[in-house]
Structure 1
Amino acid sequence: MRTKFKKQRFWIRWIIPALSVACFAYFGFHSWHGAYGLNSAEALEIRRVELTARLASLTERRQHLERKVMLLSDGAVEADMLDERARLLLNVAREDEVVYFN
C-alpha cells in the first residue's frame, strides 16, 4: 500500500503564532494609548480632582447665596440686609461713611 505524503510548507506552522502576536500587539497598544487606555485614565483622574474642587467652591457659594436669600425672603426682612441691598443698588452713602464692597 502506497501512501502519499504531502510536504508541509514551512510558513503554515507560523500563521497562528504570527496572528496571535499581531492581536496581542494591537490590543496592547490600544490598552495603553487608546481612548479608554491607561493614559486616558490618568487624565480623567486629574480632571475629576479639579472638578471636585470646583464643585466644593460652588457648593459653598450656593450655600452663602441661599443664606442671603433666606434673610431677604422669609417675610421679615432683616434691617442690615435691607440697608446693605439699598446701598449697593442705589449707590448711596452718607458723607461720613466709608463703604467697602465685596
Structure 2
Amino acid sequence: MWTRHHKKRKFGRFVVPAITVAFLSYFGYHCVHGEYGLIATERFERQRLARSGELSRLTETRVALERQVEALSDGSLERDMIDEIARYQLNVSRTDEIVILNGYF
C-alpha cells in the first residue's frame, strides 16, 4: 500500500482567511464609498431637502399666479387690478401720483 506524506506548509493555513479578508474589505469599502454607499446616501438626503424647499417655494409661486390669473380671467375683470398690474410691470405712474420707494434709503 502506497501512502503519500505531505509536508505541512504554513502558507496553506492563511489562504482562506486572506481571501476572506480581501472579500470583506472590497465589499466594506464599496458599502461606505460606493455609488450607493453611506456617503452617497447622505449626499442624496441633503439634495432631497434642498429640492423639497425649492418645491415648496415654487408651489407657493404657482398658487399665487393661479389666483392672479383667476382674478383676471373669470369674466369680471376689475379695472383697478388690471391697472395696478400693468403699471407695476411697465414701471409707470401717473403725473398726479406720489411714488414711495420701500427699502431704498
Coarse TM-score class (shorter-chain normalised) = 0.7 to 0.9
How far did residue 60 of structure 1 move?
0.3
Counterpart Cα distance in 2 of 1:90 and 1:25: 66
What TM-score comes out, normalization by structure 1 length?
0.83
What TM-score comes out, normalization by structure 2 length?
0.81
Counterpart Cα distance in 2 of 1:31 and 1:83: 62
How far did residue 5 of structure 1 move?
1.8
Shift in alpha-carbon separation, 1:100–1:86, aligned structure 2, 3 A: farther
Shift in alpha-carbon separation, 1:58–1:99, aligned structure 2, 3 A: farther
Shift in alpha-carbon separation, 1:78–1:40, aligned structure 2, 3 A: same
Shift in alpha-carbon separation, 1:99–1:67, aligned structure 2, 3 A: farther
Q: Percent identity?
A: 48
Pairing 1:98–2:98 present: yes
Structure 2 regions of 5+ residues with no counterpart?
A: none
Counterpart AA for 2:96 = D
SS of equivalent residue, structure 1 residue 93: coil
